[in-house]
């Protein structure tokens, strides 16, 4: 080699919101369980990324999967026919299976949806509800994605407009990942949308370290007069939606209701994203949670077999639980702009 390769600069995440274009799924062969998507899913599970989809993306992927299966089934049928003719010369040719392409296509589409919806817990955006007049205005003006002569990228235009709407309504930014230059150009025309060329670029940003001296900034945010109250409000509102599991001594105990008793501290944090206005953190928050537990009470003063021997009862218990909380904070005001309880389950003993 004549020269030493230089490391390309990779910026840390500016937002955790991500949209993957149909082209990204097509490039992966629609295999959303491959190694790339496994890493992607791990970042989602950790709270660093949130995947967004649209109804148009679903329609495109569903159609393309059916087309791919139909094409491969037709090839297999032709190969089977050729093998059958060649089998007159030798019995070494195997009999290839017949493929129900409709059933196989539906099965693959269902498996794709299962990962996107259940494993990746995606947020669905309805792009087809965008008023057509807004899209035609861009079309007649020759604005992206209609900049090239003869371009008719109407599905992309509806998707980009819907993604920008979501960002405007939620004071958020979003990565738009696509190998399609026209779509990236359209995304780049919206201040809230950040175009990227591939999922590799996104994963590189997830792993990148910020060169900002983060500790003084975070300390300042933790010391803000409204920080504790905002964090307590998040947990008060979200704790009742935790799934409660009981492993204590009460007979057939099951958790009925959960509520926050006390926030003990913020033990630590992880940087999720940062830009000029916001910093996104994943907080480790040990708390005391209380829960009402329904159980079976056996009265020792009543004879076994008596109708009153076994009755249902409810008790209130508390336990120390470590919660993970995502917050996006306006660094100028200390206000929580976005918040989510990442922990989904609480165990009581």
Residue pLDDT, tens place only, 238-254: 999 999 999 998 989 99
Beta strand ranges found along the chain (DSSP E): 17-20, 50-54, 123-125, 174-177, 193-196, 243-246, 254-263, 268-274, 278-298, 310-330, 336-341, 345-348
List, for residues 21-52, the tens digit of each pLDDT value. 999 999 999 999 998 899 999 999 989 999 99
Which CATH number fits the domain that encloses residue 118? 3.40.50.1010
DSSP 113-130: HIIIIIIS-PEEE-GGGS
6 is a domain residue: no
Is there a single domain that holds both residue 140 and residue 224? no
The whole-number pLDDT of residue 81 equals: 72
Distance between CA 301 and CA 347 in Å, rounded? 32
Distances in Å between the Cα of 21 and the Cα atoms of 37, 54, 177 are: 14, 9, 6
Both tokens of residue 39?
Answer: 């890493």
Picking from 177, 207, 237, the residue at the C-terminal end of a domain is 207
- One domain, residues 178 and 99: yes
Residues 190, 280, single domain; the answer is: no
The answer to whether the peptide bond before residue 145 is cis (omega within 30 degrees of 0) is: yes
Average pLDDT, the chain: 86
Domain residues for the domain of 335 are 214-348
- pLDDT of residue 308 exceeding 90: no
Indicate whether 196 and 244 sit together in one domain.
Answer: no
Please report whether residue 155 resides in a domain.
yes
Report if residue 1 sits inside a domain. no
Among the residue ranges 63-77, 131-145, 313-327, 331-345, the one predicted with the least confidence is: 131-145
4 domain residue, yes or no: no
Count of structural domains, the chain: 2
Q: In the chain, pLDDT over 90 holds for what percent of residues? A: 57
Give tens-digit pLDDT for 312-328: 899 999 999 999 999 99
Give a yes or no: residue 181 inside a domain: yes
Q: Choose one of 177, 192, 207: the last residue of a domain.
A: 207
Span of 86-95, 174-183, 227-236 with lowest mean pLDDT: 86-95
Query: Would you state the pLDDT for residue 150?
Result: 46
pLDDT at 192: 96
pLDDT exceeds 60 at position 217 = yes
Would you say 126 and 165 are in contact if contact means Cβ atoms under 8 Å apart? no
* Same domain, residue pair 245 and 308: yes
Instruction: Compare 82 and 34 and report the one with higher pLDDT.
Output: 34
Q: Last residue of some domain: 165, 186, 207?
A: 207
In this predicted structure, the answer to whether residue 302 has a pLDDT above a threshold of 80 is no
- Comparing 125-129, 145-149, 283-287, the range with the smallest average pLDDT is 145-149
Higher pLDDT pick, 307 / 348 = 348
């Amino acid at each position: 080699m004549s020269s030493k390769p230089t490391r390309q600069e990779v910026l840390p995440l500016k937002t955790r919101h991500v949209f993957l274009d149909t082209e990204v799924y097509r490039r992966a062969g629609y295999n959303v369980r491959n190694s790339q998507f496994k890493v992607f899913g791990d970042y989602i599970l950790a709270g660093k990324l949130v995947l967004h989809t649209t109804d148009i993306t679903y329609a495109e992927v569903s159609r393309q999967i059916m087309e791919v299966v139909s094409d491969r089934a037709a090839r297999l049928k032709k190969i089977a026919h050729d093998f059958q003719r060649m089998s007159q010369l030798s019995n070494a040719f195997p009999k290839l299976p017949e493929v129900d392409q409709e059933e196989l296509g539906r099965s693959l589409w269902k498996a794709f949806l299962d990962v996107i919806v259940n494993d990746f817990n995606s947020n669905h955006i309805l792009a087809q509800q965008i008023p057509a007049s807004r899209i035609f205005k861009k079309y007649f003006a020759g604005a992206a994605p209609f900049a090239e002569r003869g371009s008719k990228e109407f599905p992309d235009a509806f998707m980009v407009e819907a993604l920008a709407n979501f960002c405007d309504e939620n004071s958020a930014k979003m990565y738009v990942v696509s190998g399609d230059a026209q779509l990236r150009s359209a995304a780049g025309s919206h201040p809230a949308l950040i175009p990227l060329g591939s999922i590799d670029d996104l994963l590189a940003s997830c792993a990148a370290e910020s060169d900002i001296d983060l500790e003084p900034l975070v300390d300042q945010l933790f010391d803000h007069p409204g920080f504790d109250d905002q964090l307590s409000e998040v947990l008060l509102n979200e704790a009742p939606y935790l799934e409660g599991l009981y492993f204590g001594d009460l007979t057939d105990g099951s958790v009925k209701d959960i509520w926050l008793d006390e926030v003990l501290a913020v033990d630590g944090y992880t940087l999720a994203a940062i830009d000029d206005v916001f910093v996104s953190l994943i907080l480790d928050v040990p708390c005391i949670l209380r829960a009402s537990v329904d159980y079976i009470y056996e009265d020792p003063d009543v004879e076994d077999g008596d109708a009153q021997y076994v009755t249902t009862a409810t008790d209130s218990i508390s336990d120390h639980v470590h919660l993970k909380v995502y917050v996006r904070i306006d660094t100028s005001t200390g206000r929580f702009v976005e918040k989510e309880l990442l922990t989904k389950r609480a165990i009581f003993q």
